[in-house]
Amino acid sequence: MTKGKRRLVDLLVTRGLIVTLDDRWTVIEDGAIAIHDGSILDLGPNQELYARYTAGEILDAAGAIVMPGLVNAHTHAATSLFRGFADDKPLKEWLEDYIWPAENAFVDPERVRWGTLLAMAEMLRGGTTTFLDMYFYEDAVAAAAKQIGMRVVLGEALFDTAGPSKLPFLEALDYNRHLLETYRRDPLISVSVQPHGTYTVSPDNLLRAKSLADEFGAVYGLHASETAQEVAEVRRKTGYSPPQLLAHLGLLDERAVLFHGVHLDQAEIATLAETRAGVVHCPEANLKLASGVAPLPALFRAGVRVALGSDGPASNNDFNLWGEMQMASKIHRGVSGDPMAVTAREVLTMATRAGADLLGLGDQIGSLEVGKRADMILLGLDEPHLVPMYDVHSLLVYAVGRADVDTVLINGRPVMRGRQMLTVDETEVIARVREIGGEIQRWLETRRPAHVQPPKGRPS
Protein backbone atom coordinates (compact mmCIF):
# COMPACT_ATOMS: atom_id res chain seq x y z
CA MET A 1 0.00 0.00 0.00
CA THR A 2 1.39 3.38 -1.03
CA LYS A 3 2.32 5.61 1.88
CA GLY A 4 -0.55 7.90 2.74
CA LYS A 5 -3.12 5.87 0.80
CA ARG A 6 -5.83 4.25 2.91
CA ARG A 7 -7.20 0.82 2.06
CA LEU A 8 -10.91 0.63 1.29
CA VAL A 9 -12.92 -1.73 3.52
CA ASP A 10 -16.62 -2.45 3.73
CA LEU A 11 -17.22 -1.17 7.27
CA LEU A 12 -15.22 0.65 9.91
CA VAL A 13 -16.51 0.50 13.49
CA THR A 14 -14.96 3.49 15.26
CA ARG A 15 -14.46 5.04 18.72
CA GLY A 16 -15.77 2.07 20.71
CA LEU A 17 -14.63 0.32 23.86
CA ILE A 18 -13.51 -2.91 22.20
CA VAL A 19 -13.87 -5.92 24.52
CA THR A 20 -12.27 -8.67 22.45
CA LEU A 21 -12.76 -11.62 24.85
CA ASP A 22 -9.63 -13.15 23.31
CA ASP A 23 -7.46 -15.42 25.46
CA ARG A 24 -5.49 -12.39 26.71
CA TRP A 25 -8.68 -10.52 27.65
CA THR A 26 -7.58 -7.57 25.52
CA VAL A 27 -9.61 -4.37 25.91
CA ILE A 28 -9.03 -1.43 23.57
CA GLU A 29 -10.26 1.97 24.70
CA ASP A 30 -11.21 4.30 21.85
CA GLY A 31 -10.76 1.41 19.47
CA ALA A 32 -11.81 0.57 15.94
CA ILE A 33 -12.46 -2.53 13.85
CA ALA A 34 -12.01 -2.80 10.08
CA ILE A 35 -14.41 -5.29 8.47
CA HIS A 36 -14.13 -6.61 4.91
CA ASP A 37 -15.93 -9.50 3.18
CA GLY A 38 -17.65 -10.36 6.47
CA SER A 39 -14.42 -10.83 8.42
CA ILE A 40 -12.36 -8.76 10.85
CA LEU A 41 -9.46 -7.42 8.80
CA ASP A 42 -7.87 -5.33 11.55
CA LEU A 43 -8.56 -3.90 14.99
CA GLY A 44 -6.71 -1.54 17.29
CA PRO A 45 -6.60 2.08 18.42
CA ASN A 46 -9.09 4.25 16.54
CA GLN A 47 -6.52 6.80 15.38
CA GLU A 48 -4.28 4.12 13.88
CA LEU A 49 -7.06 2.34 11.99
CA TYR A 50 -8.51 5.60 10.74
CA ALA A 51 -5.11 6.38 9.26
CA ARG A 52 -4.91 2.99 7.52
CA TYR A 53 -8.44 2.51 6.20
CA THR A 54 -11.30 4.23 4.49
CA ALA A 55 -14.70 2.58 4.45
CA GLY A 56 -17.87 2.31 2.46
CA GLU A 57 -19.70 2.76 5.77
CA ILE A 58 -18.71 4.11 9.17
CA LEU A 59 -20.39 2.84 12.32
CA ASP A 60 -19.70 5.24 15.18
CA ALA A 61 -19.51 3.28 18.45
CA ALA A 62 -18.64 6.21 20.70
CA GLY A 63 -20.05 5.61 24.19
CA ALA A 64 -20.61 1.90 23.52
CA ILE A 65 -19.02 -1.44 24.25
CA VAL A 66 -18.19 -3.50 21.16
CA MET A 67 -17.94 -7.22 21.94
CA PRO A 68 -18.49 -10.63 20.31
CA GLY A 69 -22.05 -11.79 19.83
CA LEU A 70 -23.30 -14.33 22.35
CA VAL A 71 -23.56 -18.05 21.57
CA ASN A 72 -26.60 -20.01 22.81
CA ALA A 73 -25.37 -23.60 22.73
CA HIS A 74 -28.66 -25.42 23.40
CA THR A 75 -32.15 -24.45 22.23
CA HIS A 76 -35.37 -25.78 20.78
CA ALA A 77 -36.14 -22.47 19.08
CA ALA A 78 -39.60 -23.16 17.66
CA THR A 79 -40.93 -24.06 21.11
CA SER A 80 -41.40 -20.30 21.38
CA LEU A 81 -44.87 -21.32 20.17
CA PHE A 82 -45.42 -23.00 23.56
CA ARG A 83 -43.97 -20.29 25.81
CA GLY A 84 -45.88 -20.33 29.10
CA PHE A 85 -48.25 -22.93 27.69
CA ALA A 86 -48.28 -25.20 30.73
CA ASP A 87 -46.22 -23.63 33.50
CA ASP A 88 -46.18 -24.64 37.17
CA LYS A 89 -47.19 -28.24 36.69
CA PRO A 90 -45.42 -31.44 37.70
CA LEU A 91 -43.01 -32.59 35.01
CA LYS A 92 -44.88 -35.80 34.14
CA GLU A 93 -48.21 -33.97 33.76
CA TRP A 94 -46.54 -31.11 31.87
CA LEU A 95 -45.06 -33.49 29.31
CA GLU A 96 -47.73 -36.16 28.94
CA ASP A 97 -50.92 -34.08 29.16
CA TYR A 98 -49.77 -30.85 27.53
CA ILE A 99 -46.46 -30.52 25.66
CA TRP A 100 -46.37 -33.84 23.79
CA PRO A 101 -50.03 -33.77 22.66
CA ALA A 102 -49.67 -30.11 21.62
CA GLU A 103 -46.59 -30.85 19.54
CA ASN A 104 -48.36 -33.74 17.84
CA ALA A 105 -51.30 -31.45 17.03
CA PHE A 106 -49.49 -28.30 15.91
CA VAL A 107 -45.87 -28.85 14.87
CA ASP A 108 -45.43 -28.63 11.10
CA PRO A 109 -42.90 -26.90 8.81
CA GLU A 110 -44.80 -23.61 8.51
CA ARG A 111 -45.37 -23.24 12.24
CA VAL A 112 -41.75 -24.18 12.92
CA ARG A 113 -40.64 -21.40 10.57
CA TRP A 114 -42.77 -18.77 12.31
CA GLY A 115 -41.78 -19.96 15.77
CA THR A 116 -38.12 -19.89 14.80
CA LEU A 117 -38.38 -16.38 13.32
CA LEU A 118 -39.88 -15.20 16.61
CA ALA A 119 -37.13 -16.93 18.59
CA MET A 120 -34.39 -15.44 16.41
CA ALA A 121 -35.82 -11.93 16.72
CA GLU A 122 -35.80 -12.34 20.50
CA MET A 123 -32.27 -13.73 20.52
CA LEU A 124 -30.93 -10.98 18.27
CA ARG A 125 -32.50 -8.29 20.45
CA GLY A 126 -30.63 -9.86 23.36
CA GLY A 127 -27.27 -9.94 21.58
CA THR A 128 -27.18 -13.63 20.65
CA THR A 129 -25.76 -14.07 17.16
CA THR A 130 -25.35 -17.88 17.04
CA PHE A 131 -27.47 -20.70 18.41
CA LEU A 132 -27.62 -24.49 18.29
CA ASP A 133 -31.09 -25.83 17.56
CA MET A 134 -32.60 -29.29 18.05
CA TYR A 135 -36.16 -29.68 16.86
CA PHE A 136 -38.23 -30.96 13.95
CA TYR A 137 -38.41 -29.85 10.29
CA GLU A 138 -34.98 -28.24 10.49
CA ASP A 139 -35.12 -27.21 6.82
CA ALA A 140 -37.70 -24.67 8.02
CA VAL A 141 -35.22 -23.48 10.66
CA ALA A 142 -32.58 -23.07 7.95
CA ALA A 143 -35.00 -21.06 5.81
CA ALA A 144 -35.77 -18.75 8.74
CA ALA A 145 -32.06 -18.29 9.47
CA LYS A 146 -31.35 -17.42 5.84
CA GLN A 147 -34.20 -14.91 5.87
CA ILE A 148 -33.08 -13.13 9.02
CA GLY A 149 -29.31 -13.52 8.51
CA MET A 150 -28.52 -15.35 11.75
CA ARG A 151 -25.87 -17.99 12.39
CA VAL A 152 -27.21 -21.39 13.44
CA VAL A 153 -25.96 -24.92 14.03
CA LEU A 154 -29.03 -27.07 13.47
CA GLY A 155 -29.88 -30.74 13.74
CA GLU A 156 -33.05 -32.78 13.41
CA ALA A 157 -34.21 -34.26 16.70
CA LEU A 158 -33.59 -38.01 16.40
CA PHE A 159 -35.71 -40.54 18.35
CA ASP A 160 -36.33 -44.25 18.22
CA THR A 161 -40.05 -43.43 18.01
CA ALA A 162 -41.26 -41.00 15.34
CA GLY A 163 -42.26 -37.54 16.57
CA PRO A 164 -44.32 -34.80 14.86
CA SER A 165 -42.29 -35.17 11.67
CA LYS A 166 -43.64 -38.77 11.45
CA LEU A 167 -40.14 -40.05 10.53
CA PRO A 168 -38.86 -43.23 12.18
CA PHE A 169 -35.24 -43.14 13.24
CA LEU A 170 -33.54 -44.29 10.04
CA GLU A 171 -35.60 -41.94 7.89
CA ALA A 172 -34.91 -39.07 10.27
CA LEU A 173 -31.20 -39.91 10.06
CA ASP A 174 -31.42 -39.80 6.25
CA TYR A 175 -33.12 -36.42 6.55
CA ASN A 176 -30.24 -35.25 8.76
CA ARG A 177 -27.83 -36.45 6.04
CA HIS A 178 -29.76 -34.30 3.57
CA LEU A 179 -29.24 -31.31 5.87
CA LEU A 180 -25.51 -32.03 6.17
CA GLU A 181 -25.13 -32.27 2.40
CA THR A 182 -27.32 -29.26 1.61
CA TYR A 183 -25.68 -26.76 3.97
CA ARG A 184 -22.09 -28.02 4.16
CA ARG A 185 -20.71 -24.86 2.52
CA ASP A 186 -23.26 -22.34 3.75
CA PRO A 187 -21.73 -19.20 5.31
CA LEU A 188 -24.29 -19.06 8.15
CA ILE A 189 -25.79 -22.55 8.54
CA SER A 190 -23.90 -25.48 10.02
CA VAL A 191 -25.42 -28.89 10.65
CA SER A 192 -24.96 -31.19 13.62
CA VAL A 193 -26.25 -34.67 14.47
CA GLN A 194 -28.45 -34.71 17.58
CA PRO A 195 -29.99 -37.91 18.92
CA HIS A 196 -32.27 -36.77 21.71
CA GLY A 197 -30.72 -38.70 24.59
CA THR A 198 -29.62 -42.04 25.97
CA TYR A 199 -33.10 -42.72 27.38
CA THR A 200 -34.93 -42.10 24.09
CA VAL A 201 -32.44 -43.52 21.58
CA SER A 202 -31.11 -47.07 21.64
CA PRO A 203 -27.37 -47.80 21.77
CA ASP A 204 -27.43 -49.06 18.18
CA ASN A 205 -29.05 -45.85 16.98
CA LEU A 206 -26.69 -43.72 19.05
CA LEU A 207 -23.85 -45.45 17.18
CA ARG A 208 -25.54 -44.88 13.81
CA ALA A 209 -25.93 -41.18 14.59
CA LYS A 210 -22.28 -40.87 15.63
CA SER A 211 -21.15 -42.59 12.45
CA LEU A 212 -23.00 -39.95 10.43
CA ALA A 213 -21.52 -37.14 12.53
CA ASP A 214 -18.01 -38.55 12.08
CA GLU A 215 -18.50 -38.88 8.32
CA PHE A 216 -19.10 -35.13 8.08
CA GLY A 217 -16.93 -33.99 11.01
CA ALA A 218 -20.08 -32.64 12.65
CA VAL A 219 -20.98 -31.87 16.25
CA TYR A 220 -22.71 -34.76 18.03
CA GLY A 221 -25.09 -33.43 20.70
CA LEU A 222 -27.61 -35.04 23.03
CA HIS A 223 -29.38 -34.62 26.37
CA ALA A 224 -27.56 -36.43 29.16
CA SER A 225 -27.93 -36.65 32.95
CA GLU A 226 -30.53 -33.88 33.06
CA THR A 227 -32.64 -35.47 35.79
CA ALA A 228 -32.09 -38.09 38.47
CA GLN A 229 -35.03 -40.07 37.06
CA GLU A 230 -33.40 -40.17 33.62
CA VAL A 231 -30.11 -41.41 35.07
CA ALA A 232 -31.92 -44.16 37.00
CA GLU A 233 -33.89 -45.20 33.91
CA VAL A 234 -30.80 -45.45 31.71
CA ARG A 235 -28.92 -47.36 34.40
CA ARG A 236 -31.85 -49.78 34.77
CA LYS A 237 -31.99 -50.43 31.02
CA THR A 238 -28.27 -50.59 30.24
CA GLY A 239 -26.35 -50.99 33.49
CA TYR A 240 -24.65 -47.63 32.88
CA SER A 241 -25.32 -43.98 33.61
CA PRO A 242 -25.68 -41.79 30.48
CA PRO A 243 -22.01 -40.67 30.39
CA GLN A 244 -20.84 -44.17 31.23
CA LEU A 245 -22.93 -45.58 28.39
CA LEU A 246 -21.58 -43.02 25.93
CA ALA A 247 -18.02 -43.81 27.03
CA HIS A 248 -18.67 -47.55 26.81
CA LEU A 249 -19.92 -47.11 23.23
CA GLY A 250 -16.90 -44.98 22.31
CA LEU A 251 -19.03 -41.92 21.55
CA LEU A 252 -17.23 -39.32 23.65
CA ASP A 253 -14.69 -37.13 21.87
CA GLU A 254 -14.01 -33.45 21.21
CA ARG A 255 -17.08 -33.14 18.97
CA ALA A 256 -19.47 -34.70 21.52
CA VAL A 257 -21.63 -32.24 23.48
CA LEU A 258 -23.82 -33.21 26.44
CA PHE A 259 -26.78 -30.94 27.15
CA HIS A 260 -27.47 -30.17 30.83
CA GLY A 261 -25.14 -32.60 32.67
CA VAL A 262 -26.83 -31.90 36.00
CA HIS A 263 -26.26 -35.28 37.66
CA LEU A 264 -22.58 -36.08 37.12
CA ASP A 265 -20.22 -37.68 39.61
CA GLN A 266 -16.46 -37.13 39.85
CA ALA A 267 -15.59 -40.22 37.79
CA GLU A 268 -17.93 -39.11 34.99
CA ILE A 269 -16.50 -35.61 35.07
CA ALA A 270 -12.99 -37.06 34.79
CA THR A 271 -14.10 -39.08 31.75
CA LEU A 272 -15.52 -35.98 30.08
CA ALA A 273 -12.26 -34.13 30.69
CA GLU A 274 -10.15 -37.00 29.36
CA THR A 275 -12.22 -37.40 26.19
CA ARG A 276 -12.54 -33.62 25.62
CA ALA A 277 -16.34 -33.91 25.42
CA GLY A 278 -18.23 -30.72 26.25
CA VAL A 279 -21.20 -29.83 28.43
CA VAL A 280 -23.85 -27.14 27.90
CA HIS A 281 -25.04 -25.66 31.19
CA CYS A 282 -28.69 -24.46 31.23
CA PRO A 283 -29.14 -23.14 34.77
CA GLU A 284 -32.56 -21.46 34.50
CA ALA A 285 -34.28 -24.39 32.79
CA ASN A 286 -32.75 -26.81 35.28
CA LEU A 287 -34.08 -24.75 38.17
CA LYS A 288 -37.53 -24.14 36.67
CA LEU A 289 -38.08 -27.86 36.03
CA ALA A 290 -36.54 -28.78 39.41
CA SER A 291 -33.90 -30.89 37.67
CA GLY A 292 -31.17 -29.76 40.04
CA VAL A 293 -27.96 -27.74 39.98
CA ALA A 294 -25.15 -28.93 37.74
CA PRO A 295 -21.64 -29.34 39.24
CA LEU A 296 -20.21 -26.41 37.27
CA PRO A 297 -17.26 -25.60 39.58
CA ALA A 298 -16.21 -29.26 39.53
CA LEU A 299 -16.41 -29.29 35.72
CA PHE A 300 -14.17 -26.21 35.60
CA ARG A 301 -11.66 -27.72 38.02
CA ALA A 302 -11.41 -30.84 35.89
CA GLY A 303 -10.87 -28.84 32.72
CA VAL A 304 -14.14 -29.82 31.03
CA ARG A 305 -15.22 -27.44 28.29
CA VAL A 306 -18.55 -25.84 29.30
CA ALA A 307 -20.81 -23.57 27.26
CA LEU A 308 -24.07 -21.81 28.12
CA GLY A 309 -27.57 -22.51 26.84
CA SER A 310 -31.12 -21.36 27.48
CA ASP A 311 -32.97 -24.55 26.49
CA GLY A 312 -36.37 -23.93 24.88
CA PRO A 313 -38.98 -21.40 26.04
CA ALA A 314 -41.46 -24.17 26.78
CA SER A 315 -39.24 -25.02 29.75
CA ASN A 316 -37.45 -21.71 30.37
CA ASN A 317 -39.72 -19.07 28.80
CA ASP A 318 -37.00 -16.93 27.20
CA PHE A 319 -33.63 -16.90 25.41
CA ASN A 320 -31.95 -14.37 27.70
CA LEU A 321 -28.26 -15.29 27.95
CA TRP A 322 -27.52 -12.28 30.17
CA GLY A 323 -29.86 -13.77 32.74
CA GLU A 324 -28.27 -17.19 32.24
CA MET A 325 -24.83 -15.69 32.88
CA GLN A 326 -25.95 -14.07 36.11
CA MET A 327 -27.67 -17.25 37.23
CA ALA A 328 -24.67 -19.43 36.34
CA SER A 329 -22.43 -17.29 38.51
CA LYS A 330 -24.74 -16.59 41.44
CA ILE A 331 -26.44 -19.96 41.96
CA HIS A 332 -23.14 -21.79 42.26
CA ARG A 333 -21.81 -19.23 44.72
CA GLY A 334 -24.92 -19.62 46.82
CA VAL A 335 -24.86 -23.41 46.74
CA SER A 336 -21.13 -23.72 47.45
CA GLY A 337 -20.66 -20.77 49.82
CA ASP A 338 -17.61 -19.81 47.73
CA PRO A 339 -17.75 -16.25 46.25
CA MET A 340 -15.18 -17.32 43.65
CA ALA A 341 -16.96 -20.54 42.65
CA VAL A 342 -17.85 -19.18 39.20
CA THR A 343 -16.40 -15.84 38.11
CA ALA A 344 -17.58 -13.21 35.65
CA ARG A 345 -14.83 -14.07 33.19
CA GLU A 346 -15.72 -17.75 33.33
CA VAL A 347 -19.37 -17.19 32.44
CA LEU A 348 -18.45 -14.68 29.73
CA THR A 349 -16.24 -17.36 28.22
CA MET A 350 -19.10 -19.87 28.43
CA ALA A 351 -21.39 -17.50 26.52
CA THR A 352 -18.86 -16.69 23.79
CA ARG A 353 -15.56 -18.51 23.14
CA ALA A 354 -16.50 -21.81 24.81
CA GLY A 355 -19.85 -21.89 23.02
CA ALA A 356 -18.15 -21.29 19.68
CA ASP A 357 -15.62 -24.02 20.47
CA LEU A 358 -18.24 -26.63 21.39
CA LEU A 359 -20.22 -25.87 18.23
CA GLY A 360 -17.17 -26.37 16.03
CA LEU A 361 -16.91 -22.67 15.22
CA GLY A 362 -14.05 -21.65 17.49
CA ASP A 363 -11.88 -20.59 14.56
CA GLN A 364 -14.65 -18.36 13.19
CA ILE A 365 -16.49 -16.66 16.07
CA GLY A 366 -16.54 -16.20 19.85
CA SER A 367 -13.96 -13.41 20.13
CA LEU A 368 -12.98 -10.30 18.20
CA GLU A 369 -9.73 -11.23 16.46
CA VAL A 370 -8.22 -10.68 13.02
CA GLY A 371 -9.43 -13.35 10.61
CA LYS A 372 -12.62 -14.24 12.50
CA ARG A 373 -16.10 -13.50 11.21
CA ALA A 374 -17.48 -10.11 12.13
CA ASP A 375 -20.22 -11.25 14.53
CA MET A 376 -20.43 -8.50 17.14
CA ILE A 377 -22.78 -6.45 19.25
CA LEU A 378 -22.79 -2.86 20.48
CA LEU A 379 -24.02 -2.06 23.99
CA GLY A 380 -24.90 1.51 24.93
CA LEU A 381 -23.31 2.67 28.18
CA ASP A 382 -25.39 5.79 28.84
CA GLU A 383 -27.82 4.13 31.24
CA PRO A 384 -28.04 4.65 35.02
CA HIS A 385 -27.51 0.97 35.80
CA LEU A 386 -24.23 0.94 33.82
CA VAL A 387 -22.55 3.85 35.61
CA PRO A 388 -19.84 3.94 36.90
CA MET A 389 -17.71 1.20 35.34
CA TYR A 390 -14.63 -0.13 37.12
CA ASP A 391 -14.30 -3.55 35.50
CA VAL A 392 -15.90 -4.02 32.10
CA HIS A 393 -16.11 -7.83 32.35
CA SER A 394 -17.86 -7.61 35.72
CA LEU A 395 -20.22 -4.96 34.32
CA LEU A 396 -21.16 -7.23 31.40
CA VAL A 397 -22.16 -10.11 33.66
CA TYR A 398 -23.73 -8.40 36.66
CA ALA A 399 -25.27 -5.20 35.22
CA VAL A 400 -25.88 -5.44 31.46
CA GLY A 401 -29.24 -6.74 30.21
CA ARG A 402 -30.66 -7.57 26.82
CA ALA A 403 -32.33 -4.16 26.48
CA ASP A 404 -28.84 -2.61 26.44
CA VAL A 405 -28.03 -4.23 23.08
CA ASP A 406 -28.21 -1.44 20.50
CA THR A 407 -26.70 -2.91 17.34
CA VAL A 408 -26.00 -6.43 16.07
CA LEU A 409 -23.73 -7.44 13.18
CA ILE A 410 -23.44 -10.95 11.76
CA ASN A 411 -20.88 -11.69 9.06
CA GLY A 412 -20.23 -7.95 9.00
CA ARG A 413 -23.85 -7.21 8.10
CA PRO A 414 -26.05 -5.14 10.44
CA VAL A 415 -29.21 -7.06 11.34
CA MET A 416 -30.27 -4.68 14.12
CA ARG A 417 -29.32 -1.03 14.47
CA GLY A 418 -30.51 1.43 17.06
CA ARG A 419 -32.81 -1.35 18.41
CA GLN A 420 -34.52 -1.53 14.99
CA MET A 421 -34.60 -4.94 13.33
CA LEU A 422 -33.41 -4.70 9.72
CA THR A 423 -33.98 -8.16 8.27
CA VAL A 424 -37.35 -9.27 9.62
CA ASP A 425 -40.78 -7.70 9.96
CA GLU A 426 -41.33 -8.22 13.67
CA THR A 427 -44.89 -6.96 13.49
CA GLU A 428 -45.79 -9.67 10.99
CA VAL A 429 -44.00 -12.39 12.97
CA ILE A 430 -45.64 -11.41 16.24
CA ALA A 431 -49.08 -11.25 14.62
CA ARG A 432 -48.66 -14.66 13.01
CA VAL A 433 -47.42 -16.33 16.20
CA ARG A 434 -50.31 -14.76 18.12
CA GLU A 435 -52.66 -16.43 15.65
CA ILE A 436 -50.95 -19.78 16.20
CA GLY A 437 -51.09 -19.19 19.95
CA GLY A 438 -54.82 -18.57 19.65
CA GLU A 439 -55.25 -21.88 17.84
CA ILE A 440 -53.33 -23.68 20.56
CA GLN A 441 -55.33 -21.92 23.29
CA ARG A 442 -58.67 -22.92 21.72
CA TRP A 443 -57.43 -26.49 21.38
CA LEU A 444 -56.39 -26.47 25.03
CA GLU A 445 -59.76 -25.12 26.22
CA THR A 446 -61.83 -27.67 24.30
CA ARG A 447 -59.99 -30.84 25.22
CA ARG A 448 -59.69 -32.90 28.34
CA PRO A 449 -56.29 -34.27 29.41
CA ALA A 450 -55.74 -37.28 27.22
CA HIS A 451 -53.93 -39.38 29.82
CA VAL A 452 -52.54 -41.49 27.03
CA GLN A 453 -48.94 -42.57 26.89
CA PRO A 454 -47.22 -40.34 24.31
CA PRO A 455 -44.32 -41.47 22.16
CA LYS A 456 -41.21 -41.51 24.29
CA GLY A 457 -38.46 -38.99 23.76
CA ARG A 458 -39.80 -35.58 22.93
CA PRO A 459 -37.73 -32.39 23.29
CA SER A 460 -38.34 -30.59 26.55
| pLDDT tens-place string over residues 194-246 | 999 999 999 999 999 999 999 999 999 999 999 999 999 999 999 999 999 99
Q: Kind of pairing, strands 27-36 and 194-195?
A: unpaired
Q: Residue 142 — pLDDT band, cuts 50, 70, 90?
A: very high
Query: What per-residue confidence (pLDDT) applies to 314?
Result: 87
Q: 25-56: per-residue pLDDT in tens? A: 999 999 999 999 999 999 999 999 999 999 99
Distance CA 336, CA 10 (A): 49
Q: How many CB atoms lie within 10 A of CB 453?
A: 8
Q: What is the pLDDT of residue 455?
A: 41
3-state DSSP assignment of residue 54: strand
Q: Which string of DSSP letters, residue by residue, matches 99-163? A: IHHHHHHH--HHHHHHHHHHHHHHHHHTTEEEEEEEES-HHHHHHHHHHHT-EEEEEEEE-SS--
Residue 448 confidence (pLDDT): 56
- Gap between the terminal Cα atoms of the chain: 56
Averaged pLDDT for residues 140-152: 98
Whether the predicted pLDDT of 457 surpasses 90: no
Helix then strand then coil, % of the chain, to nearest 5: 40, 25, 35
Task: Identify the weakest region by mean pLDDT among 70-74, 204-208, 235-239, 442-446.
Answer: 442-446
**Could you give the angle at the alpha carbon of 254 between the alpha carbons of 252 and 258, nearest 5°?**
55
Q: Are 138 and 115 in contact (CB under 8 A)?
A: no
pLDDT class of 1 with cuts at 50, 70, 90: very low
Going from the N-terminus, what domains does the chain have, and what CATH number goes with each? 7-68+373-419 (2.30.40.10), 70-358 (3.20.20.140)
Mean of per-residue pLDDT scores for the chain: 94
Rounded to two decimals, the pTM is: 0.95
- Of the candidates 152, 126, 128, the one whose C-alpha atom is nearest the C-alpha of residue 140 is 152
